[in-house]
Amino acid sequence: MASEIIFLVDESPEGGYEARALGHSIFTEADTLDELKVEIADAVRCHFDEPDAPRIIRLHMVKEEVLVL
């Protein structure tokens, strides 16, 4: 049983957000960050049996912006 699972979160080119778990076949998406958090929690509950589910879900988000001078 892993006590923690990490998701990489990216902004979707079509709008909204995408999240994928590291080391597990879990992927989800949503229009807002708040909706994405709900979707991630639901996906984790569906992927793992209750005793094997991680207790902590960590979201790794990197936002890249380019400024042109």
What mean pLDDT value characterizes the chain?
A: 93
For 15, left (φ over 0), alpha (ψ -120 to 50), or beta? left
Residue 22 covered by a domain: yes
Residue 68 covered by a domain: no
Mean pLDDT, to the nearest integer, of 47-62? 92
What tens digit of pLDDT does each residue of 29-47 get?
999 999 999 999 999 999 9
Residue 17 covered by a domain: yes
Residue 66 covered by a domain: no
Residue 11 covered by a domain: yes
Residue 69 covered by a domain: no
Residue 67 covered by a domain: no
Q: Which structure tokens are listed for 12?
A: 């979707």
Residue 26 covered by a domain: yes
Model pTM above 0.95: no
Q: What is the DSSP letter of 14?
A: T
Number of domains composing the chain: 1
| Pair 43, 59: CB distance under 8 Å | no
Q: What domain range includes position 29? A: 4-61
Q: H or E stretch including 21?
A: strand 17-21
In whole angstroms, what is the distance from residue 53 CA to residue 31 CA?
25
Whole-number percent of the chain with pLDDT over 70: 97
